[in-house]
Amino acid sequence: MNTPDFEYPDEAGYPDGVGTLTQDQVVLIDEVSEDHSPTIEFFVVNNEETSTYEAISGDTVIGGLTYDLTGENRLVLVAAAVFPAYRGQGVATELIRRVLDEIRAGGSSVTILCPIVWEFIDRNPSYADLIDTELPGLRKTR
């Protein structure tokens, strides 16, 4: 398992506040590091009340990507999560892809605090143009 060297504030979901990845984050980073299609059908809904893009299969929320809206043209992608029963099925990869596609279609840019999204973009550089050049997010250089 290759764990990238990330550094993020506690608001991105790091209990120690200094950037140590949780085991859940490591699992999802490993998942988005591999190229595969989702093995479960789901759709994505932007729940504006909770500022979360939710992955929903049937009537069950199986994961999500939280964000903060900063004005009309930039979203801060805070944290991606997939419930344990749905991990390893390509949900994280496809959720991030669909969210970034929607953001692109809306003409917005992103600031990234989530190490899982960073890993996805590293593996899929065609999405790098969405990163706000002035406020890309927090990431420790390797």
CB 44 within 8 A of CB 93: no
From CA 48, how far away is CA 26, in angstroms rounded?
27
Residue identified by tokens 């996805």 is: 120
Tokens of 99: 């969210």
Q: What DSSP character marks residue 67?
A: E
The residue count of the chain comes to 142
Task: Output Rg (C-alpha) for the chain, integer angstroms.
Answer: 14
Q: Which residue has the higher pLDDT, 5 or 82?
A: 82
Q: Which residue has the higher pLDDT, 127 or 3?
A: 127
What pLDDT band is residue 6 in, cutting at 50, 70 and 90? very low
Q: Is the pLDDT of residue 5 over 90?
A: no
CA angle, 3 then 7 then 11, to 5°:
115
Q: Which residue has the higher pLDDT, 68 or 141?
A: 68
Q: Could you report the per-residue pLDDT of 49-91, keeping only the tens digit for each?
A: 999 999 999 999 999 999 999 877 999 999 999 999 999 899 9
The model's pTM is: 0.82
Q: What is the mean pLDDT of residues 29-55?
A: 89
CB 69 within 8 A of CB 53: no
